Amino acid sequence: MAEHSLHQSLSQQQSLAPQMRRSLEILQANSMELTQMVQQALEVNPVLEDITESLSLDEMGPSPDEADSLDDLNRTDDDWRDLEIMERRNQTWTADDKERREHFYQSIVAPETLQQHLASQLELSLVDPSVREAAQALLGNLDPRGFYDLPPSELGIRLGLAKDDVEQAVALIRGFDPAGVGALDLRDSLLIQLERRGDHGSLEHRIVSDHLDDLARKRYPRIARALGTSIDRISEAAEAIGRLTPNPGGDYDPSGNPHIRPDVVIERDDDGWKARLTNEYLPKLRISDFYKDLLGKTSSDAKARQFLRENLREGRTLIHSLSLRQSTILAIAEKLIEHQRDFFAKGPRHLRPLTMNNIADELGLHATTVSRAVAGKYVLTPHGLMEMRAFFAAGYETADGSKVSNAGVRETMQELISNENPAKPLSDDAIAKALKAQGIPVARRTVAKYRDQLGILPSHLRRSFS
């Protein structure tokens, strides 16, 4: 007779309420995506009413008391992070999920930004939740060309992300469209493009990898000798390399997108610098009194009561999440004013180094929450429309103990080059020495990197003989 045994095991499982997921989705959505979400909610949820036209502009912003809701957001984000760590499984999508997502993206008629384009590819990627979180953080650190502002490893350390998750996220993003995004610099981007074409190890790949500076100076004989081939073959390879794009994100440049709308305006009045939310794209919602009263009159119809309860709950969740999103963005903008006062008063050259951890600590939030909140958001400043994430950058300490951001260094470089003698343009080494003379210690290779980011040619190609 077979023996039978009974085993009892205890396991712990955590789940994140749909309301919490919805809150974080709304927090991360940009203005265009949020407009679509709200419009769809109004179409499918009968208990929601749009009362925007009956309100004045002063009545449309969140009240100061709603700032206390940041504590709720932090707990939600904590739950989200814990859930992703505990699940460690691939996310699957039902046919209905895919259909709704496809409808959502097809309904957006305005041009996509690079961040939106990459985020949509991430959403469709079947990866562990922890890798997805790392990828979201990395996407928020890409400049308009699709290059990293900070090395991914450094960003991972700052945000407390696991090294393996960051490495997997880096590899994932490098496979996204357009080819060349997720690169550290121009050389890395060109190599990604060549590898995507199956040209790894080719002559073009070797030239970009080891002789890009000589290629820029058209030193074909030197490259030919180093690689043991003919000058004609190097010339052909140079033409092929010239067909690659130095700016993978150029087609998604927000400066050429008339549909970009600022989430915050920062301006000065008699009392100093102030941040205000722009709510013209965001309807003011409320729960219909008719349906609230109807709930009390349908005690005998269980299905009707369940339908009303679910829609009332979803409606309240949406309204609360919208208010929380706005309060969070406003709180971050006010902190930006505190830290970047010189920038608003004097211009980009005075942008100071700032990390998301700095703001997160002051607001009592997770750095990933701040990363979600600033993703795809724009600020209208006296110096133009800027991505919110542009205010977060590493930098340098000057000789007098003050700090200057990477953007400030690039602005100073731009000024030096604009004022140079066209017959004797400044070399990268000369620029580095000029910056050092101003108290900014920057290495020559860093100058070359920033010059490339500014789209400025090397000195020998800037020389004028007229």
Q: Are 68 and 306 in contact (CB under 8 A)?
A: no
- Interatomic CA distance for residues 212 and 362, integer angstroms: 44
Q: How far is CA 204 from the centre of its chain?
A: 32
Question: Of 40-54, 68-82, 322-336, 428-442, which has the strongest mean pLDDT?
Answer: 322-336
Residue 442 belongs to some domain of the structure: yes
Give the pLDDT confidence of 30-40 residue by residue, as tens digits: 877 888 888 88
Domain boundary among 247, 268, 298: 247
Last residue within a domain, chosen from 247, 272, 291? 247
448/458 Cα distance (integer angstroms): 8
pLDDT single digits (tens) 223-265: 999 999 998 899 888 888 888 888 888 877 655 555 577 889 9
Burial of 291 (0-12, 13-18, 19+ CB in 10 A): middle
CA distance 353 to 370: 16
Please check whether residue 237 lies inside any domain of the structure. yes
What CATH number does residue 433 fall under? 1.10.10.60
The position carrying tokens 């795809």 is: 376
Place of tokens 């305005």: 110
d(CA 466, CA 463): 9
Residue 406 placed within a domain: yes
How many domains, the chain? 2
Asked if residues 24 and 372 have their Cβ atoms less than 8 Å apart, the reply is yes
Mean pLDDT value of segment 356-370: 87
Predicted pLDDT at 94 = 56
In a domain, 202, yes or no: yes
- Residue 85 scores a pLDDT above 50: no
Residues 107-162 pLDDT 10s: 444 566 788 889 889 988 888 999 998 998 888 888 888 998 888 988 888 888 89
Nearest CA to 280 out of 72, 52, 18, 114 is that of 52
Answer yes or no: is 193 within a domain: yes
Angle between helices 356-363 and 302-339 in degrees, nearest 10: 120
Asked, for residue 241, whether it belongs to a domain, the answer is yes
Residue carrying the six token digits 């703001």: 359
Of 203, 222, 247, which residue sits at a domain end? Answer: 247
Residue 199 falls within a domain, yes or no? yes
Q: To the nearest whole percent, how much of the chain has pLDDT over 70?
A: 76
pLDDT in tens, 300-341: 667 777 888 888 888 888 888 888 899 999 999 999 999 888
Residue 396's H or E segment, with its range, is strand 395-397
Q: Residue 429: give the domain boundaries.
A: 395-462
Give how far Cα 27 sits from Cα of 96, 373, 447, Å.
Answer: 24, 6, 37
**What does the pLDDT read at residue 64?**
39
Report CA 52 to chain centroid distance, whole Å: 30
Query: Residues 322, 31: contact at Cβ < 8 Å?
Result: no
